[in-house]
Amino acid sequence: MSELPSAQAAVWVRNPSWPAVAARWALQVAVTGGLYAALQVVAGANRYYEVVLTQAGIYVILAVSLNLIMGYTGQLSIGHAGFMAVGAYAAAILTKFFHAPFGLALLAGGVVAGIAGLLVGVPSLRLRGDYLAIATLGFGEIISVLIALIDEVHVGGWVIDIGGAQGMIGIPRHTTFAWTFFTAVAVIKLVWHFVHSTHGRACIAIREDEVAAEAMGIPTTRYKVLAFSMGAVMAGIAGGLHAHQYLYLNPALAGFMNSVFILVIVVIGGMGSTTGAVAAAVFFTYMNQALPNWLQALNLPDRIDPPAVRMVLFSVLLIVVMLVRPRGLLGGVELTWDGVARWVQAALGRGHGAGRADAVKGGRA
Amino acid sequence: MATATATHDPAGATAPATVLECRDVSVRFGGLVALSEFNLTLQQGEIVGLIGPNGAGKTTVFNVITGIYRPTAGDIRLFGHSIAGLRPHRITQMGVARTFQNIRLFGNMTVLDNVRTAFHSRTRAGVLAALLRTRGFHAEEQALTRRALELLEILGLSHRAGALARNLPYGEQRRLEIARALATGPRLLLLDEPAAGMNPNESRQLRDLIQEVHRRFGLTTLLIEHHMDVVMSICHRVVVLDYGRTIASGTPDEVRRNPAVIAAYLGEER
Amino acid sequence: MDIFLQQLVNGLQVGAVYALIALGYTMVYGVIKMINFAHGDVYMVGAYVAFAVATLLASGQTTAAGLAIFALAMVVAMVGCALLGALIERTAYRPLRGQSRMVALTTAIGVSLLLENLMQIIAGPNPRPFPELIPEQTWNVGVVHVNAKFMIVLAVSLVMMVGLQYLVMHTRLGKAMRAVAYDIDAARLMGVDVNRVIAYTFMIGSALAAVAGILVGTVYQRIDPFMGILPGLKAFVAAVLGGIGNIPGAMLGGLLMGLAEVAVSSVRSQLTGAVAFVILIAVLLFKPTGLLGERVYDKV
């Protein structure tokens, strides 16, 4: 949050008059619609772009959801991919075996993942720091092992084959760029609403100083579990989207490597910055796809394995960012409508004036 | 926000109520006895000072009252209800607020947000209302923002509302701690060395501030301080701790003259 | 009964390796309160260094020569890993010492990934066969088959653990390590060169991990760049089980972990992977300080 100059009460409270509200809504819809249209053109042009953009959207959701847990509430969670996997499998089972509508399956996947989040969160969130991290890692691995153990489930007269360790195939293709884009937008908006409310402040207070937060009347465990479960729900929905694009699931989806990938995106993008999470997710998804092609072009000797090179670069980047800018590249920096508006006004040389009345502490999407 | 009524007597008579009662409270950590058979009764409207050498157990008293520690023995009653063993946030919701000896502000939040956060336990809008941005949510946010700004005004911090808490100078950070504690709407305020690190001029201003806040919000105040001028000038009573035990209690004058206190702590009168 | 005893022996063998790795985790956590996520990969590097030495020198030699090469490989691996540990601490961890847990953990994860993938590039992703240094020889102790490899594992681990215990309890360095673990600021004020003590701690822990690496290479005869991930995590759990920061606890935890794993795998092998994590969750829920750990009170 950047420093703002001193202000009268009126400045801190959002202008609630109808024209202002309507104008804000109109602007947001217009920009969102415009962005979608532009990206859809790119996605429509070429299957490759569609896959990359859709993957980016999915990882945006994952990064924003983990950022809620780690960046805003300060809880170390390195088993986040477990929730993605739970949601993915749940949604896939519903569409493949029960022919449920896609939207419903996604939501159901989210709910199931949220329940998993509760089951993991309630015992784990009593722990602090490193212990919590390892506990979440442990749960992620347990989920992975459990999925690998289950081959078939018999429900009533039905046989649900989720493939165990071999994985689940034959998932119907439902995910489109449109689904992913608008789900991501909805997730970003909801997280934003949460963070810029008394509940969000409670979570940030927990991150800043848990003892002081508790002393200020905030039930810290309840909020940690809440943030954790909300993050799990969103990860589950992202998992559902992934399942219906990739069309194949296996237990490794819940595993450590995937969790680390999401973690790295959030940490490098910037803790507590939704903008950072979004930007980093897009960047890393693109890198993930593009890097192998670039490496191919370099004609490296056969011995050198492109994924390994990618990981080496990745890990070096991670270490360097931690050493140089531990809060993450965009940590504490947020792109807001008001921020953009102020920038535009400053650029146009207007400075103080009518735009002031719209400035609200912390900004608003 | 607490209104100016000083009692809970609906008939309007000024019979003082017992706000806090500590009965034979002991706190042990393994083999270490931090507090031993501590007794304290606070009446509505009192300002009571808690003094003693470093390590005497003063902050332990605060921590056990606010629920950070569980008493190993004894009982603590707030307005007659036993609070021993309750979670700190519950105790805060019941009307106890505190500041910390080592300032514990929410450093990366703005001054305004530090105070607004402390209003949380008095809000009603649920998570769903926040997510959907209902009218009720907006109304509540506006109301609490206004009240937060009023508090900042009283504490002389409204010009800093947008600054990050960690960037504030020391004296203002101490005042922000008080503002934040007040936002929880307490009836009992625990101040842990609010004047620490202040020069005589600043501590005089702080003393006046404490008195004003105490009067304005009808509080009962328990104050840990090493600045004797502050303690002696505003406290109705003083309790002296040493090695976890109460060694003296009475008016400032009585305590100042008590040989045991002088021996343990006060080398010379300040 | 025979099966039970046999499994006991197997469990001890597996547990000894976990114990050696766990010691490194617990010592580092003790002094700087940080989980060195990359520790398992130091173990992997130890195995590879030993592999390199052994491959260079070994070729159908006598038993005595084999043992000598084994010893040499072990020493080289220990020294190499000690240096690696010190390097990691100096470049990646020390600059971040004041930072939050999240930053420290993330950096450690970065180092871990770096080591794994660098090794993959250097040595190739395929598992390599470890040369035969210890001859296949089995003795019958009562009803149990004990082979030479097991004896070596047991002997070496015992020597290492006794050596470490001596170091920590009866030397000045050990006293300094305990002081730093207890209260780093007080130790600094007492004139302890905290940076050096931490560096030594890392070096010793890494050397022990290297020993574990060569033992595993010798027993299972294959190494690969990712061999450190799972044992690393399991050894960490073992350290937590015994009480993180507690050295005898790490040894106890490692042995118990090994026994538990062998027991589970003999009943239902697919569940073996989950044993460590179930133990972890159980410990964290019911006795977070571990079997031998002490309650730590926070000063507020």
Please write the tens of the pLDDT for every residue from B100-130.
Answer: 999 999 999 999 999 999 999 999 889 999 9
| pLDDT tens figures, A143-154 | 988 888 887 777
C residues 99-118 lying closer than 8 A (beta carbon) to A? 99-103, 105-107, 109-114, 116-118
Selected for mutation to probe chain C from A315, A321, A325, A327 (highest C CB count within 10 Å) is A315
Q: Identify the chains in contact with C, defined as 3+ C-beta pairs within 8 A.
A: A, B
CA atoms A140, A142, A148, A154: torsion sign: negative
- The DSSP 8-state label assigned to residue C130 in this structure reads P
CA B157 to chain CA centroid, nearest Å:
19
Is it the case that residue A355 has pLDDT exceeding 90?
A: no
Q: How much of chain B, in percent, has pLDDT values that exceed 90?
A: 71
* pLDDT at residue number A338: 67
Given a cut of 60, whether residue C10 has pLDDT beyond it is yes
φ, ψ dihedrals at B110, nearest 5° = -70, 165
pLDDT band for C21, please (50, 70, 90 cuts): very high
Task: Determine, for residues A211 and C106 on separate chains, whether the beta-carbon distance falls below 8 Å.
Answer: no
The predicted model gives B52-66 an average pLDDT of 91
How many Å lie between the alpha carbon of B100 and the closest alpha carbon of chain A? 8
In angstroms, the separation between the Cα of residue A207 and the nearest Cα of chain B is 9
The pLDDT score that the predictor gives to residue B3 is 43
Q: Give the model's pLDDT for residue C145.
A: 74
What pLDDT shows up at residue B135? 87
The residue with greater pLDDT, C13 or A127, is C13
Distance of residue C294 Cα from the nearest chain B Cα, in angstroms: 10
Q: What average pLDDT does the segment C11-22 reach? A: 90
Higher pLDDT, residue B125 or A20: B125
Dihedral sign, CA of C244, C249, C251, C253?
A: negative
With CB atoms and an 8 Å threshold, state whether A12 touches B112: yes
pLDDT in tens, C85-121: 999 999 999 998 877 778 888 899 899 999 999 998 8
Is the model's pTM score more than 0.90? no
CB contact under 8 A, A6 and B162: yes
Interface residues of chain C, partner chain B, Cβ below 8 Å: 295, 297, 300
CB A216 to CB B184 under 8 A?
Answer: yes
Interchain contact, B66 vs A215, CB within 8 Å: yes
What pLDDT is attached to residue B10? 53
Give the whole-angstrom CA distance, residue C117 versus residue C224.
11
Q: What are C207-234's pLDDT values in tens digits?
A: 999 999 999 888 888 899 989 988 888 8
Interchain contact, A361 vs B110, CB within 8 Å: yes
Q: Note the pLDDT of residue A9.
A: 47
- Is there a contact between B161 and B152 (Cβ–Cβ < 8 Å)? yes
Q: Is C87 on the interface with A (CB under 8 A)?
A: no
Contacts of C300 in chain B (CB under 8 A): 59, 63, 68-69
**Segment holding C129, helix H or strand E:** strand C128-129
Q: How far is residue B123 from each of residues A7, A116, A217, B113, measured CA to CA in Å?
A: 24, 29, 11, 15
Q: How many Å is the Cα radius of gyration of chain B?
A: 19
Residue B215 pLDDT grade (very low, low, confident, very high; cuts 50, 70, 90): very high
**Set of chain B residues whose Cβ sits within 8 Å of the Cβ of C295:** 30
pLDDT in tens, A94-138: 998 889 999 999 999 999 999 999 999 998 888 777 788 888 988
Residue C151 confidence (pLDDT): 81
Contact C66, C134 (CB under 8 A): yes
Q: What is the mean pLDDT of chain A?
A: 84
Is B30 an interface residue toward C (CB < 8 Å)?
A: yes
CB-based contact A3 B116, cutoff 8 Å: no
- Mean pLDDT in residue range A245-260: 90
pLDDT at A15: 63
Look at residue B9 and tell me whether its pLDDT is greater than 60: no
Which of A134, A263, A314 has its CB closest to that of C35? A134
Answer yes or no: do C300 and B29 touch at CB < 8 A. Answer: no
AA letter at B198: M
The reported pLDDT for the residue numbered A6 is 35
Tell me what pLDDT residue A351 has.
47
C-alpha distances (whole Å) from C244 to each of B200, C30, C159 are 48, 7, 22
pLDDT in tens, A45-86: 888 888 889 999 999 999 999 999 999 999 989 999 999 999
Residue of A nearest to C126 (CA): A303
- The verdict on a CB contact (< 8 Å) between B164 and A7 is no
Q: Is the dihedral of CA B79, B82, B85, B89 positive or negative?
A: negative
For chain A, give the percent of residues with pLDDT over 70: 87
